[in-house]
Amino acid sequence: MSLTIGFIGYGAMASAIARGLVDAGVVVGGDIVACAAHYDALAERAAALGVRPLHSAVEVASAADVVVVAVKPHQVEEVVGPLAHELAAPGRFVVSIAAGWTLERYRALFGETEVHVQCTIPNTPMEVGQGVLIAEAAHTLTDEQTATFERMFEAIGLIERVDTAHMDIAMTIAGCGPAFADMFLEALGDAGVKHGLKRATAYRLAAKMIEGVGALQLATGAHPGVMKDAVCSPGGTTIKGVACLEENGFRGAVIKAVDAIVG
């Protein structure tokens, strides 16, 4: 794809997307430009992929065909607001990954200036081409820009379009969920070590198990309860652990964690 992709903010999520795009062959590192608050640290991080570090957001906005807004949500107004003129250049479009930012908020930010915007929420597994990208159903990309957007992100994950009203809950499941899954992975690793497994072995077993469970559910569409029942042999080992998780409010704790984010 002959495109320049610009990241305004090049932290954890932006660099995961960049790595995914380069490894998937969507672009080469030299087709990516980025800026951050601290130029020297950016230059070091960018070198890993051959990404071109720039000194300011306005330089990124002027150089890129696709501008990815990847600063913290509370910084979008201050950092991206003044760039409306550059972002409105013909052919250019914005992909926002900032939590809580919707098309309506960008419209208010840019006022009269017509900028093509697609709001999204990615997740960290994009780094290895196994991500999810929540995309707001309402957007202002042209058909051609939409095709470019889809070609870019389909290479590194599943694109799931949701209504504006469901952006926050979709973000919580797919965008925040990796941290919950990481905690589960870490806990299984600790338990494995407690019972004598090498840590690396325990993580490998737990990670592949989590990957496989996701793949099985996606392939069969089976109800998770049915999948769980298939593992629990009558009078067997698994049901003892399941009963213990129920006693400790495992599922309730997960639902409460989601409530804590979406309110």
Ligand X SMILES: NC(=O)C1=CN([C@@H]2O[C@H](COP(=O)(O)OP(=O)(O)OC[C@H]3O[C@@H](n4cnc5c(N)ncnc54)[C@H](OP(=O)(O)O)[C@@H]3O)[C@@H](O)[C@H]2O)C=CC1
Ligand Y SMILES: O=C(O)[C@@H]1CCC=N1
Binding-site residue set for NADP(+): 8-13, 70-73
Residues 88-107 that bind ligand Y (CB under 6 A): 99
Q: Are 80 and 57 in contact (CB under 8 A)?
A: yes
Nearer Cβ to ligand Y (6/122): 122
**Count of CB atoms within 10 A of residue 230's CB?**
11
Tell me which H or E stretch contains 200: helix 199-220
Residues 77-106 interacting with ligand X (rule: CB under 6 A): 79, 97-99
Number of residues that bind ligand Y (CB under 6 A): 4
The single residue among 67, 115, 171, 206 that binds ligand Y, judged by CB under 6 A, is 171
Binding span for ligand X by CB under 6 A among 117-125, 144-152, 160-168, 255-263: 117-125
* Site track for ligand X across 173-192, x = CB under 6 A: --x-----------------
Q: Which two tokens stand for residue 24?
A: 């998937």
In 3D space, the residue among 153, 174, 152, 151 whose CA is nearest the CA of residue 162 turns out to be 174
Please state the closest distance from residue 151 (CB atom) to ligand X, in A. Answer: 21
The beta strand positions in the chain, using DSSP E, are 5-8, 32-35, 52-53, 66-69, 93-96, 117-121, 131-136, 157-162
Query: Which of 25, 38, 143, 165: binder of ligand X (CB under 6 A)?
Result: 38
3-class DSSP state of 159: strand
Question: Which residues are annotated binding-site positions?
Answer: 8-13, 70-73
175 sits near ligand Y (criterion: CB under 6 A):
yes
* Residues 133, 120 contacting (CB under 8 angstroms): yes
Q: State the residues that interact with ligand X by CB under 6 A.
A: 8-14, 35-38, 41-42, 57, 70-73, 75, 79, 97-99, 121-124, 175
